[in-house]
Amino acid sequence: MSGAMDVVCVASWNVDLIAHIAQPLARGQTQMAQHFERLPGGKGSNAAIAAARQGAQVGLISRIGGDDFGQMGLDLWAREGISSQFVLRAEGEANGTALILVYADGNNSIAVFPGAGAGMSVAQVTAAKPLLSQARVVMSSCEVPLAATQAAFEIARTHGVLTLLNPAPAMPLPDTLWPLVDVLTPNEGELLLLAEANDIDSAAQRLLQKGVGALVVTLGERGCALFRPGEDPVHIPGHAMQVVDTIGAGDTFTGTLAVALARQTPWPDALRWANAAAALSTQAHGAVTAMPTQLEVRSLLQNPL
């Protein structure tokens, strides 16, 4: 696949090793798992797949390892119609792996080992300038090196391409990165941590003051809220679902929002669309299994559960 992309993702790739247990482990405790799965993951790859399922042309910049898990990623992206022209395969290096515990209530805890992804360099990103400079939206997360995101967003900014950052997992960001972020999509916990604040409103204002163009905080079944400098917040309600698991729901939100913004959808509709996609993604085990198509999102919006 070649030509200009709707969305380019500077992407992490993980294999998710998922054990289902009754409740969070206590320190030093062992519990028997009821179920185990090995499924595709990685916040970047997940968001890219969410975008592709919405009918967008999607390109990846990623660094993966050389074992079977790397092939699993390449096969998956080919099936989803995602361009992996700028995916670099580091033979002899391990792939990203996420150890995930899912509890009976659908919540989870995740430990990520980035593997080959930790080696994504500024040089690799710069080599993908032809892809980045022609995209409509460039998105990234904090699972790839921050210097790689910074380089990608600098290219995007120079070429008038919208940038979107899912700041997950939350970590301190350099002062130089904030003003390059057009749209930030933290969940509530990430927002409070990043801003070192105790409530959503003051946290959002604090990050906007750092130079972020727009901030969308995701609130699970309570929906999401949009904050922009000098404007009143906009709250979009969510969907009450019988959750199977929430792995990848935030990534689905981010990838779907990226597509809506690439299509210049007005904010409230873009947020409704992303909310609905994220809600549907909770209906099966694993990050990408239940990520919806455009048709499925439209149907939920027309016939809310």
Size of the site for ligand RIB (CB under 6 A): 15
Q: Which one of residues 110, 146, 147, 301 is an interface residue with ligand RIB (CB under 6 A)?
A: 110
Buried-exposed string 217-239: b where 16+ CB fall within 10 A, e elsewhere? bbbbeebbbbbbeeeeeeebebb
Q: Which one of residues 6, 43, 216, 300 is an interface residue with ligand RIB (CB under 6 A)?
A: 43
Q: What are the CB-based long-range contacts (under 8 Å, 24+) for 198-202?
A: 200/225, 201/227, 201/233
Is 245 one of the binding residues for ligand RIB (CB under 6 A)? no
Is 41 one of the binding residues for ligand RIB (CB under 6 A)? yes
Is 98 one of the binding residues for ligand RIB (CB under 6 A)? yes
Q: What is the DSSP string of 58-120?
A: EEEEEEEESSHHHHHHHHHHHHTT-EEEEEEEETTSPPEEEEEEE-TTS-EEEEEE-GGGGG-
Is 59 one of the binding residues for ligand RIB (CB under 6 A)? no
- Binding-residue pattern over the window 249 to 278 for ligand RIB, x denoting contact by CB under 6 A: -xx---------------------------
Distance between CA atoms of 277 and 178, rounded to whole angstroms? 27
Q: Residue 6 or residue 143: which is nearer to ligand RIB going by CB?
A: 143
Among this protein's residues, is 67 annotated catalytic? no
Q: Which one of the listed residues 199, 245, 251, 269 is annotated catalytic? A: 251
Q: Which one of residues 5, 6, 11, 16 is an interface residue with ligand RIB (CB under 6 A)?
A: 16
Q: Which one of residues 50, 177, 287, 291 is an interface residue with ligand RIB (CB under 6 A)?
A: 287
Q: DSSP 3-state assignment of 162?
A: strand
Instruction: Work out how close the CB of 118 gets to ligand RIB at its nearest, in angstroms, rounded to a whole number.
Output: 13
Distance between CA atoms of 11 and 164, rounded to whole angstroms? 12
Burial environment of residue 137 by CB neighbours within 10 A (0 to 12, 13 to 18, 19 or more): buried
Which 210-239 residues touch ligand RIB, going by CB under 6 A? none
**Interface positions with ligand RIB (CB under 6 A):** 14, 16, 41-43, 46, 98, 110, 112, 143, 247-248, 250-251, 287
Active site residues: 251
